[in-house]
Amino acid sequence: MEQLATVLVRPGEADRLIAGHPWLYKGSILRITAAAADGAVVQVKDHRQRFLGVGFYNSKSKIAVRMLAPDRVEVNEKFFAERIRAALALRTRYMPGATSFRVVNSEGDLLSGLIVDKYEDVLVLQTSSLGMDQRKGMILAVLQELFAPRAILERNDMASRRFEGLPEAQGTIVGEAPGPVGVKLNGLEFKLDLATGHKTGLYLDQQENYRRVAELVKTTNAKQVLDCFSFLGGFALHAAQAGAERVLGLDQSADAVAAATQNAAANGLAERCTFEEVNVFDWLKAQTVPAPHEKVVPRFDFIVLDPPSFTRNRDSVPDALRGYKEIHLRALKLLRPGGTLATFCCSHHVDANLFLDSILAAAYDCHRVLRRVAVFHQAPDHPVLPSVAETEYLKGFAFEIAR
């Protein structure tokens, strides 16, 4: 094996690496024993020269080393084949029926900086660290061998690549441009234009929650459903398929509303689903601030709140909590007695307890008592490593109005 440059870690900074966190910040480095090229594999040792593992080095990034393994592995095609096979095996175990899912989710699959999504027979790749980006060739070879996909797209158009000194890039890198792909989730089909769509496509992390919300719609015999922040209609279509008679989806994006409307039609649910291009905050406010001598009429049996993350960083948490409280307050006012609210938070900076606090503050203000009937998490293709706090971000609850 080639001689690797050694990165020595400051006293006290080794513990999190030993616990499995793969990020070594620039500020945690004591010194580097030899010049290391950006993107190269380095070995990492604590200040007493005890070996901690190997990782990708990048002097341009705040995360100077992304750990790959606690032993001296060769980072070659065989290494990627083993890691990606292990990731795939996890999906097969926990999501046996799924045909579209996230194959590799970065830190959660011990491959910091690599995301691979499978949309039926098309794969979408993101490499957000220099070390991964430089090894795209090996990774593509493994993916072709494992999946024989019709096409592989690169969606490296995220601004965060800048922090690694990487340019933005996007396009078809294997096969022909696939055109719209019909993605199957729980028996419904969603048309996706992977070349231009939001993120890398659909919110695959909600795949199981769609199914569970559909079950709740069925169990509670909900007929009038509101899906706030509906995007491509994930929750709306599942609710309609589960027996809801009228589903209203709200999203501020005209493209999302058009796509959701088409998805409803393609699944034979056009009669039951309507999508409107509105700002959810404004819409909810207009519905819940009554004119003089009028009352707010609760008219929904089931409401879904699945907003985008309201936080960019820790500083924006107070504003985010005000936002969460507001939509909950208004949604609760629109729920019929005995109705159900399914609500989600995808911000890593707002944990389940903080999120729950904002919901309870809203319930308090409108004198409702809530009964929790479900707890939601991200789907198993977005694995959570409790020692790597950043891997956990999606949480949700369903509540009945108890009183």
Which residues are the active-site residues?
346
Residue with nearest beta carbon to ligand SAH: 234
> Minimum Å distance from CB 9 to ligand SAH?
38
User: Other CB atoms closer than 10 Å to residue 180's CB: what's the count?
Assistant: 13
> Minimum Å distance from CB 229 to ligand SAH?
4
In angstroms, rounded to a whole number, what is the distance separating the alpha carbons of residues 311 and 351?
12
Write the interaction track for ligand SAH spanning residues 189-208; mark x where CB under 6 A is met and - where it is not: --------------x--x--
> Minimum Å distance from CB 227 to ligand SAH?
7
> Minimum Å distance from CB 321 to ligand SAH?
16
Q: Are the C-beta atoms of residues 153 and 195 closer than 8 Å to each other?
A: yes
> Minimum Å distance from CB 250 to ligand SAH?
6
SS3 labels along the chain: CCCCCEEEECCCCHHHHHCCCCEEEHHHEEEECCCCCCCCEEEEECCCCCEEEEEEECCCCCEEEEEEECCCCCCCHHHHHHHHHHHHHHHHHHCCCCCCEEEEEHHHHCCCCEEEEEECCEEEEEECCHHHHHCHHHHHHHHHHHHCCCEEEEEECCHHHHHHCCCCEEEEEEECCCCCEEEEECCEEEEECCCCCCCCCCCHHHHHHHHHHHHHHHHHCCCEEEEECCCCCHHHHHHHHCCCCEEEEEECCHHHHHHHHHHHHHCCCCCCEEEEECCHHHHHHHHHCCCCCCCCCCCEEEEEECCCCCCCCHHHHHHHHHHHHHHHHHHHHHEEEEEEEEEEECCCCCCHHHHHHHHHHHHHHCCCCEEEEEEEECCCCCCCCCCCHHHCCCEEEEEEECC
The residues in 125-154 that bind ligand SAH, with binding defined as CB under 6 A, are none
Number of residues that bind ligand SAH (CB under 6 A): 18
Select 230 or 358, whichever has its Cβ closest to ligand SAH.
Answer: 230
Select 240 or 250, whichever has its Cβ closest to ligand SAH.
Answer: 250
Write the interaction track for ligand SAH spanning residues 220-259; mark x where CB under 6 A is met and - where it is not: ---------xxxx-xx--------------xxxx--x---
Select 52 or 346, whichever has its Cβ closest to ligand SAH.
Answer: 346
Tokens of 138: 């090996």
Select 54 or 259, whichever has its Cβ closest to ligand SAH.
Answer: 259
CA end-to-end distance (rounded Å), the chain: 68
> Minimum Å distance from CB 107 to ligand SAH?
22
Say whether residue 381 binds ligand SAH (CB under 6 A): no
The structure tokens 């095996």 sit at 89
> Minimum Å distance from CB 281 to ligand SAH?
5
Select 14 or 232, whichever has its Cβ closest to ligand SAH.
Answer: 232
Write the interaction track for ligand SAH spanning residues 277-296; mark x where CB under 6 A is met and - where it is not: --xxx---------------
Q: Are the C-beta atoms of residues 376 and 395 closer than 8 Å to each other?
A: yes
The residues in 306-335 that bind ligand SAH, with binding defined as CB under 6 A, are 306, 308
Q: Residues in the site for ligand SAH, rule: CB under 6 A?
A: 203, 206, 229-232, 234-235, 250-253, 256, 279-281, 306, 308
